[in-house]
Amino acid sequence: MSSVIESEEHQALRAAVAALGKRHGRDYAPEALWSEAAKLGYLGVNLPEAYGGGGGGIYELSIVLEELAAAGCPLLMMVVSPAICATVIARFGTDDQKAAWLPALADGTRTMAFGITEPDAGSNSHRITTTARRDGADWLLTGRKVFISGVDKADATLIVGRTEDARTGSLKPCLFIVPRDTPGFAYRPIDMEIRASEWQFELAFDDMRLPADALVGDENAGLLQLFAGLNPERIMTAAFALGMARYALGRAVEYARERTVWRQPIGAHQAIAHPLAQSHIEVELARLMMQKAAHLYDSGDDAAAGEAANMAKYAAGEACVKAVDQSVHTLGGNGLTREFGLASLITASRVSRIAPVSREMILNYVSHQTLGLPKSY
């Protein structure tokens, strides 16, 4: 399978991005790194060449994020702006939407946030209550969103709402592009214990007026458009987690080689070496599933990509949490110091288990969709 052994082009991309990440390092300035990555064409590597992108896919974009994370300088907004929002616009947007957004998203001069999670919906996207109704040629959007990354700096947010189906009366998903300066678009930061360069926000809007062309694609497309963005989100979250795990393991292995107790490096002891080796194996296995998911998605097999993307995100999240925990433990007290840069990953690694969908919901998906077991929810 072509996704198992990477091509020379993919290997060259990994090497180039790794070199960029090494130059910026753990104490990186996110905006400076974003700008340089954009100039090198890495942020738009998955977007059509006709709009200034690299003509690749989520496979190539996942390489960029994984290698930056492995160098200690991940860019969280890569999961959102080029992977979710730009992918949805490229696949379903109007010609005007593509022309307005894709070149700027590709070259990094504009970014877009993604708003789906709600206070009372959580992982259940079928309970989304943000609704849109027509008012003449316009739309009126009402709802709330929580844990939306980077809204304060993004030029717009791609909001997931629901419209009423005139035929059935039921609500169906729809997506709207909402510029940050839209009247009635209110956002406030959420006080998070975890500290990251990208803040989390709560959004609120009540009959916020949007023009007709704010709607992305066909209002009847429903879940098709939504999952065109959610599958890349899971794949990119896996890349983020695997890069974080690789960074942590790299620091731990380096320490285990050099830290000498009783006249030999601590890495000579199996109690230290074996858990690190086990984590390395788990990371590599999770990466294979991520590569499979990206390959399936880029080939257009959305159904198979959905299953693989969920499995990849699950496996990567589990591998990341275990790798970070073992790496911190390997360093002992030093693992909790700012000098070694691992302590902050203890909380950061948990995010890969929780977001964008919890490990339990993935297990629900696999047990129901893959194994054919009855639903418990």
Per-residue pLDDT, averaged over 111-126, amounts to 82
pLDDT of residue 1: 38
Least Cα distance to 47 among 38, 34, 57 occurs for: 57
Per-residue pLDDT, averaged over 14-24, amounts to 98
| Domain membership flag for residue 345 | yes
| Domain membership flag for residue 1 | no
What CATH number corresponds to the domain at position 249?
Answer: 1.20.140.10
What CATH number corresponds to the domain at position 39?
Answer: 1.10.540.10
Alpha-helix residue ranges (DSSP H) falling in the chain: 8-24, 30-39, 58-70, 77-80, 86-92, 95-106, 223-258, 270-298, 302-331, 344-354, 359-365
pLDDT of residue 242: 98
Residues 230 and 339 in one domain: yes
Banded model confidence at residue 31, pLDDT cuts 50, 70, 90: very high
What percent of the chain has pLDDT above 90? 86
| Domain membership flag for residue 59 | yes
| Domain membership flag for residue 376 | no
Residues 6+ apart with CB under 8 A from 332: none
Banded model confidence at residue 194, pLDDT cuts 50, 70, 90: confident
Residues 228 and 361 in one domain: yes
Cβ(90)–Cβ(56) below 8 Å: no
Residues 117 and 209 in one domain: yes
Banded model confidence at residue 217, pLDDT cuts 50, 70, 90: confident
Per-residue pLDDT, averaged over 212-228, amounts to 82
Distance CA(109)–CA(101), nearest Å, equals 10
Number of domains in the chain: 3
- pLDDT value at 169 more than 70: no
pLDDT of residue 122: 61
Residues 6+ apart with CB under 8 A from 228: 87, 88, 91, 92, 302
- pLDDT value at 3 more than 60: no
Q: What is the mean pLDDT of the chain?
A: 93
| Domain membership flag for residue 100 | yes
Radius of gyration over every alpha carbon of the chain, rounded to an integer in angstroms? 21
Distance CA(143)–CA(147), nearest Å, equals 14
Q: What's the pLDDT tens digit per position in 344-374?
A: 999 999 999 999 999 999 999 999 999 999 9
What percent of the chain has pLDDT above 70? 95
Residue that wins the pLDDT comparison between 167 and 39: 39
- pLDDT value at 271 more than 50: yes
Residues 152 and 132 in one domain: yes
Instruction: Name the token pair of 273.
Output: 């070496």
Residues 189 and 128 in one domain: yes
Q: What's the pLDDT tens digit per position in 84-117?
A: 999 999 999 999 999 999 999 999 999 999 999 9
- pLDDT value at 377 more than 80: no
- pLDDT value at 219 more than 80: no
pLDDT of residue 2: 46
Residues 132 and 250 in one domain: no
| Domain membership flag for residue 273 | yes
Residues 191 and 63 in one domain: no
- pLDDT value at 252 more than 90: yes
Domain hosting residue 49, numbered range:
8-111
Per-residue pLDDT, averaged over 199-210, amounts to 97
| Domain membership flag for residue 375 | no
pLDDT of residue 123: 58
